[in-house]
Structure 1
């Protein structure tokens, strides 16, 4: 049986406990044995290499140097990493090694909760198969992103809330490699109720399976 680790915590506004329970259920439905931890110290476990997948749901917090180094090491060696919204790409703002692995870092969400459009850029990719562009109501993430990411979906900023970024096309979903490991990220999923959006849930489920080398 494949094993996955979910580490949740940090800012309560992202409802990490509720989101972790939902993600755990999704993975268990796919046959994973899921471990749940509530401290970043879990990333320092030398036995992480036994896992197929690690899912951080841990916003605006700190990670120790040893914890970040071990996490990066096991991903480079082939363990999958997957996550969403601030739980992965606004987890540890001071940890550049962690950001290098993830492929991006949140910096703003102009207008806070707004309506925006998600555009599928790679409909030929298995993660996006059968999905079309869709409207979304949440934080529209403005991010600093790695140009080596393989971008699967984007959003375009209208400029209504920050005129100087009008027309900027920003990645929403991407996948990448970190050494031998597969890394997947979606900026969708501010709070638990967003898992009720079929596109959000489908993209994350498929992305996690891809990162764990179980595409479906």
Structure 2
């Protein structure tokens, strides 16, 4: 049986515990044995290199250097990494090796909770199969992103809340490689209730399965 590790904590505003429950249920339905931890200390355990998948749900906070090095080494060695919203790409802001692995970092969400559109960029990718462009209500993440990402979905900023970014097309969902490991990310999911949105749920579930070793 494949093993997945969920590590949740950090800023409570992103409801990390509720998100961890949603992801745990999702993975158990797919036949994973799911381990759940609430401290980043587990990232320093050499045993993480034997996992199939790691899901960080840990907005902001700090990552010790030995934790960062062991985690990135495990993914480079073949462990999958998957995450969403601030739980993965607004985590550990001082940990640049971690950010290099993830492929992006949150920097703003103009207007906070707003209505926006998610545009499917790769309809031919199995993760996006059968999903059309859809409307979404959440934080519209403005991110600094790695140009090596394989972008699967985007959003376009209207400029209503920050005029100088009008027309900017921003990645929402991507996948990438880090060494031998597969990395998946979706910026959707500010609140745990968003897992009830069919498109968000389906994309994230498929993305984790793609990333998992």
TM-score by length of 1: 0.98
Report the alpha carbon displacement of residue 50 of structure 1 after superposing the two structures with TM. Answer: 1.3
Match of 1:40 in 2: 40
Q: Which runs of 5+ in 1 are unaligned?
A: none
Report the alpha carbon displacement of residue 68 of structure 1 after superposing the two structures with TM. Answer: 0.4
Report the alpha carbon displacement of residue 59 of structure 1 after superposing the two structures with TM. Answer: 0.3
Match of 1:196 in 2: 196
Alignment length (residue pairs): 213
Please tell me whether residue 72 in structure 1 is matched to residue 72 in structure 2: yes
Match of 1:28 in 2: 28
TM-score by length of 2: 0.99
Q: Which runs of 5+ in 2 are unaligned?
A: none
For 1:48-100, what per-residue CA distance to the aligned partner results, in whole angstroms no more than 9, with x for missing partners?
Answer: 11100000000011000000000000000000000000000001100000000
Match of 1:143 in 2: 143
CA RMSD in angstroms comes to: 0.4
Match of 1:17 in 2: 17
Match of 2:177 in 1: 177
Report the alpha carbon displacement of residue 111 of structure 1 after superposing the two structures with TM. Answer: 0.1
Q: Give the Cα separation in 1 of the matches to 2:68 and 2:132.
A: 36
For 1:177-209, what per-residue CA distance to the aligned partner results, in whole angstroms no more than 9, with x for missing partners?
Answer: 000000000000001100010000000000000
Q: Give the Cα separation in 1 of the matches to 2:8 and 2:63.
A: 13
> After TM superposition, where is structure 1 displaced by more than 2 Å over at least 4 residues in a row?
none
Secondary structure of the 1:117 match is: strand
